Amino acid sequence: MDLNGKVVAITGAASGIGEACAHAFAAVGAKVAVVDIDEVGAVRVASAVSGAAVPCDLGDPAAISDMVAQIEADLGPVEVLFNNAGIGSGAGLLTSSLDEWQRQWDVNLMSHVHAIRAVLPAMLERGEGYLLHTASMAGVLSSHGNLPYAVSKHAVVGLAEWLAFTYAHLGIRVSLLAPLAVRTPMLGDAAEGEWASQAGGPIKEPTEVAQQVLDAIVAERFLVLTDPIAQTWMERKTADPDRWLLGMNRLQQRLEGAEDAGLPQQ
């Protein structure tokens, strides 16, 4: 897809990958709607890319409908929807409250569903549209700690795959971004911890990932990986799941040892 002149909505665009993608997409001529719960940040980024700032709490379905309506009023029909926003915690099964499970489910998965339901009918009518989803490799390979995050991101992978094969012949293209560690506010101090060195993979900068996403859109390629090691890890998992799980458990034990030693665990 050629993004020149296209109306692109990016959620979670006030920082990190979303912000970098806003700049990258605008540089090739896209009209960018910067969507984020952080209104000040959204205004800052929108000003920098000559786009539209759209404050939105993605945990609120009604707010998502209002967000799409505002973008249509300000820029025109959404032609590219980038469901990028996500939240996470380091909690496990017995330490994550049910409220936390629901909050992450609402933002990490259901915000995609509500936004797609708002823009897909018009895309189908036009016979063209692009849906992007940020899932994280936690949604493909899982993640130590972060249980609600890992589970919700697995659901995003399933959603993106279903959309891709269900609507491809109707002109809808889908990409899935599954990054390893990226230097964003969500990664925070974990960039310097045991998790990053053992499980996060080579840490990328948001601008690097934005270029990878842009290249994938131009090529209309489904899976966007941020480092070749991710492909290797995926192949190891599918080739021998039992061996992969054993290796993950050994890493879990090392991370627990790091936590006991006062190092951060992610």
Residue 7's H or E segment, with its range, is strand 7-11
Say what the pLDDT of residue 16 is: 94
Residue 90 CB coordination number (10 Å): 18
Q: What is the pLDDT of residue 173?
A: 98
Q: How many other CB atoms sit within 10 Å of the CB of residue 146?
A: 23
pLDDT at 102: 95
CA dist 214 and 25 (Å) reads: 7
pLDDT at 260: 52
Position 255 confidence tier, pLDDT thresholds 50, 70, 90: confident
Query: How large is the average pLDDT for residues 195-216?
Result: 81
The residue with tokens 């990190």 is 16
* 132-159: pLDDT as tens digits: 999 999 999 998 888 999 999 999 999 9
With beta carbons less than 8 A apart as the criterion, state whether 79 and 31 touch: no
| Residue pLDDT, tens place only, 161-173 | 999 999 999 999 9
Helices within the chain (DSSP H only) = 16-27, 39-49, 61-74, 98-105, 111-126, 147-167, 194-198, 206-219, 228-239, 241-260
Least trusted range by pLDDT, from 1-15, 137-151, 216-230, 247-261: 247-261
Architecture of the domain made up of 7-260: 3-Layer(aba) Sandwich (3.40)
Interval 72-97 mean pLDDT: 93
Active site residues: 149
Are 13 and 84 contacting, i.e. CB atoms less than 8 angstroms apart? Answer: yes
What is the token pair recorded at 161? 């795959």
The pTM is what? 0.90
Greater confidence (263 vs 5) lies with 5
Q: 173-188, pLDDT tens digit by residue? A: 999 999 998 987 765 5
Amino acid 265: pLDDT: 36
pLDDT of residue 185: 73
pLDDT at residue number 266: 34
By C-alpha distance, which of 40, 38, 30 is closest to 11?
Answer: 38
How big is the CA angle at 71 (ends 65 and 73), to the nearest 5 degrees? 105
**What per-residue confidence (pLDDT) applies to 184?**
72
The length of the chain, given as a count of residues:
266
